[in-house]
Structure 1
Amino acid sequence: MTTRTATDDTASALADAAARQTYETADEVLRLYQPVMRALATAAGPSVEVVLHNLDGSDVDLDHTIMAIENGHVTGRAVGGPSTSLGLDVLKDRQRNHDAFGYRAVTSDGRELRSSSIYFHNAAGDIIASLCINVDLSPLQQARNMIEALLPVPPVGAEEAPQEHFGSDLLSVMDQMISEAIAEIGRPVEQMSRDDKIAVLEKLEKRGVTQMRKSIETIAKRLHVSRVTAYAYLDEARS
């Protein structure tokens, strides 16, 4: 399932606007949409390229289709530069709806892009221009890698590693540990079986919680059982 982004939604809105009317020439599209391109690129930032291609006529030169471009450093292109491989598909069928949103693209140096393309038609139904938005994902990927590098990596034998709990007093520490043991069962207390509750007591016994003052009373309340039942579960856990 593809997740939509703000740039996808912007491209979709532009596509809806383009679909409601036709244009005589690619130059007309340029006059109307060049200010939109600049506004979009400025708002989205330097990692977002916005480019308008001229696809008008029967002898389109795919090596020289770019009429206007913002943030061309994303793909290393400029005005007068080339189309992409999608241009070939478009020219095979100029009357089909080729609009696409949030698809994956790759630059010549291997960077991953998230792209959207919309196409403008003339009165005859032929495509005469395209507006493409290309988001360079590498800054986001680098940021993700930095964050992941800062996150703790569980050591080998993590189950045996000590886990520290902090609280304003011992009762709050105990309550945290009880909550953690309950969460590890994977279901709400209301849906726990007898064996589930014994498993909670077993975890708390191993972690020393049952040695704390008033622990059994607190555990009994959290498990919705009586104090006597909690002690019985503890005896089974110990055995």
Structure 2
Amino acid sequence: MTDEQIFKHYINVAEILGEMFGPILEVIVHDLRKPEHSIIAIVNGHITGRTVGDGTSDLGVLRLRGEVPDKIVGYENQSPSGEKLKSSTLAIRNSEGELLGSFSMNLQISYFDQFGKFIEQLISTHSNTFTPKKEQFYLFTPREEIKAACQHFLVEQGLMGKPLNKAQKKEVVAYLHHEGHLNKRGVVTIISEELGVSRNTIYRYLKEIEQQIHNKGL
């Protein structure tokens, strides 16, 4: 591959990257054989204000002197206008290892600072005396509501995953009655299936519970 073909390859890469990540990524190809006018291709040059025909930077001069490594990735940089940049540079060499130029990228990270502030504001939460620390979202079907209520009671009582005796099953029904879950159509069938008892048993529990409530009110 000739030197000019090598440069053509890097110019093509610069154009693809610049178009894909524009306008926040500047991509430059330098021909360091002529450092005073080293820029032979630049995409999104508005970031540093440079154009084709401009000279190399001080980093390019150091590269010509052999004082920097061929690859430098993600170093902190700044545009002439003061914008924060994240930069990377790669030496371009031919098959004989001779230095031809450099391929450089400058990412305008100040853009992400602004975006980060927006995201931070978007996801931030605020304490409010009128809302609970954790909102409880209600389920939409009676079966899901009953199941969730049963699980809540069993967890609170330390009974989750344990076989329930008759008295404990009655306590579950009493809890559901107290929480207002028995005023929906079909809930007796749902509760009987959840507890593994007959519908008649649930009705008997309810009759006993209501009688107990009535006796307490006397």
If the length of structure 1 is used for normalisation, what is the TM-score?
0.53
2:57 is matched with 84
Aligned residues: percent identity?
26
State whether structure 2 residue 107 is matched by structure 1 residue 135: yes
Q: Which of 87, 91, 94 is the aligned partner of 1:119? A: 91
Structure 1 residues 102, 215: CA separation in 2 closer, same or farther (over 3 Å shift)? Answer: same
Aligned-partner Cα distance in 2 for 1:70–1:30: 15
Q: Which runs of 5+ in 1 are unaligned?
A: 1-20, 176-211, 228-239
State whether structure 2 residue 111 is matched by structure 1 residue 148: no
| Matched residue type, 1:52 | V
Aligned-partner Cα distance in 1 for 2:159–2:117: 43
Aligned-partner Cα distance in 2 for 1:214–1:30: 68
Structure 1 residues 90, 214: CA separation in 2 closer, same or farther (over 3 Å shift)? Answer: closer
SS of the counterpart of 1:133? Answer: strand
Deviations 1:18-52 (A, max 9, x none): xxx7x54xx45333332232122112222111101
2:25 is matched with 48
1:102 CA drift (Å):
2.4
Structure 1 residues 218, 50: CA separation in 2 closer, same or farther (over 3 Å shift)? Answer: same
State whether structure 2 residue 139 is matched by structure 1 residue 162: no
Aligned-partner Cα distance in 2 for 1:89–1:48: 23
Counting matched residue pairs gives 161
Deviations 1:117-167 (A, max 9, x none): 111224653322001122212222212211222333444xx8997323222
1:84 CA drift (Å):
2.5
Aligned-partner Cα distance in 1 for 2:29–2:63: 14
RMSD after superposition = 3.6
| Matched residue type, 1:48 | L
1:74 is matched with 47
Structure 1 consecutive aligned stretches of length 4 or more whose deviation exceeds 4 Å: 158-161, 169-172, 212-216, 224-227
Deviates more, 1:41-50 or 1:120-129: 120-129
Q: Which of 214, 218, 221 is the aligned partner of 2:155? A: 218
1:101 CA drift (Å):
2.0
- Highest relative contact order (Cα 8 Å, sep 6+), 1 or 2? 1
Deviations 1:161-196 (A, max 9, x none): 732322217986x96xxxxxxxxxxxxxxxxxxxxx
State whether structure 2 residue 18 is matched by structure 1 residue 37: no
Q: Which runs of 5+ in 2 are unaligned?
A: 165-218
Q: Please say if residues 27 and 104 of structure 2, whose CA atoms lie closer than 8 Å, have aligned partners that are also in contact.
A: yes
